[in-house]
Amino acid sequence: MVNLIVTIFLGPLGVHKFLQKKTGMGFLYLFTCGLFGIGWIVDIVIAFHNFFSKNPKNANKNLPLSINVVGEKFYKNEIASIMSGNRFYSLPDDEFIRRVESRKRIYRFKYREAEAALVPEPSNQHDKNAIMVLVDNVHVGYIPADQCIDVKNVLPKIKSVTAEIHGGDYKYHTNNDVFKTEDDFSIDLYLTI
């Protein structure tokens, strides 16, 4: 419902794209007035379709098909162990300045998309409904607590879970200074039911 309303009233400004964490598209919509109105109209039609095609009898109607994993900051080393390094990150500072655009973030690890597994953890001391997220059999985080019961209910029906892993430590430069920043990974799950 919120997505539909935001798309209708704030679509030309790209607010719905920012809420979907599609910042590039959000800025494009903002500077082109919703792709000259055409993208905005298409998004309204899609939002209407998504809103009215949901089955109101679905017991898990609150379960999103995409979920942002929580707790990644506690598994930073484990996540790093399954990622591939970015060759630009390891360049010496002088070569980094010469080859990389100023203020552009270069992440230590490359973006990764992989199959994930959801494993209930009833022995979890904090939440008996906890569900671990595994990528390459490595524990990388958890399903948010407020979504665990819904996910548990559909767990046998889930056909696949795809994880998108991005973020983490990065570096950038301004003029002749290189800055390194430590940051957490972000993991988004996409469920196919």
Q: How far apart are CA 41 and CA 49, in angstroms?
A: 12
Query: Stretch 81-85: mean pLDDT, rounded?
Result: 94
Please give the C-alpha separations between residue 66 and each of 45, 80, 99, 132, 143, in angstroms, as whole numbers: 21, 22, 36, 16, 11
Asked if the model's pLDDT at residue 20 lies above 70, the reply is: yes
Residue 58 confidence (pLDDT): 43
Q: How far apart are CA 164 and CA 150, in angstroms?
A: 21
> Higher pLDDT residue, 53 or 71?
71
Per-residue pLDDT tens over the stretch 101-137: 899 999 999 999 999 999 999 999 999 999 999 999 9
DSSP 106: E
Residue 84 confidence (pLDDT): 93
Residue 59 confidence (pLDDT): 42
Q: How far apart are CA 129 and CA 152, in angstroms?
A: 8
Residue 187 confidence (pLDDT): 94
Q: What is the mean pLDDT of the chain?
A: 87
Per-residue pLDDT tens over the stretch 47-70: 887 777 654 444 444 455 889 999
Residue 7 confidence (pLDDT): 86
